[in-house]
Amino acid sequence: MEEVEEIEAFGNPLIKATHRSTFEVTREMHLTERGDCIIAIGANKAARDLNKRFKEAARRPDSEIIIFIEACGLREVVKAYGSPNLTFTHPTDIVVRKSGYICDRTVAIRADKAARDLSRELIEKLRLPMKPVKITLFVRA
């Protein structure tokens, strides 16, 4: 079983991307200095908006989730996993975690990268105000 979910979002000059264990994409349009895990704002989807087939596949115990982050011609790949415990209920956020911690914002766990692990070249592009950012979630179960 394979499912793909695409999320459109935007860059922001306040993006730091220095968090050690997560990265986040949010529907919110504002960003504060404290948001060190956020990599894109103004997303067209949050955890609860992901399609039913994607959620079902991601909840399988053996599911792998590949995340593609694209901005201004640059692309980064993050490998992570799903879990039967994922709820996909948060109305504004999508969070990918290096740990196994799960809350309503979590869409993938045990990722091989957090915000601080992303290439600084990509982060510079993510800081460009209102430039399009594309996040693709590919689940294989």
The b-or-e profile of 89-125 (16+ CB within 10 A means b, else e) is: ebeebbbbbbeeebeebbbbbbbebbbbbbeeebbeb
Q: What is the pLDDT of residue 88?
A: 98
Q: Would you state the pLDDT for residue 112?
A: 98
Over residues 114-140, mean pLDDT: 97
Phi, psi for 56 (deg, rounded to 5): -60, -45
User: In the chain, where do the E strands start and end?
Assistant: 2-10, 22-26, 38-40, 64-71, 74-81, 93-97, 106-108, 132-140
Structure tokens at 101: 């911690």
Q: Mean pLDDT of all residues in the chain? A: 97
Place domain 2-140 in its CATH homologous superfamily: mth639 domain like (2.60.120.630)
pLDDT digits over 85-107, tens only?
999 999 999 999 999 999 999 99
Domain ranges of the chain: 2-140
| For range 26-30, the mean pLDDT | 94
| CA atoms of 79 and 92, how far apart (whole Å) | 23
Name the DSSP letter for residue 1: -
State the pLDDT at residue 110: 98
Confidence at residue 76, expressed as pLDDT on a 0 to 100 scale: 98
Percent pLDDT > 70 in the chain is: 100
Average pLDDT for residues 60-75, to the nearest whole number? 97
Tell me how far apart the alpha carbons of residues 51 and 88 are, in angstroms, rounded to a whole number.
Answer: 10
User: Is the pLDDT at 33 greater than 80, yes or no?
Assistant: no
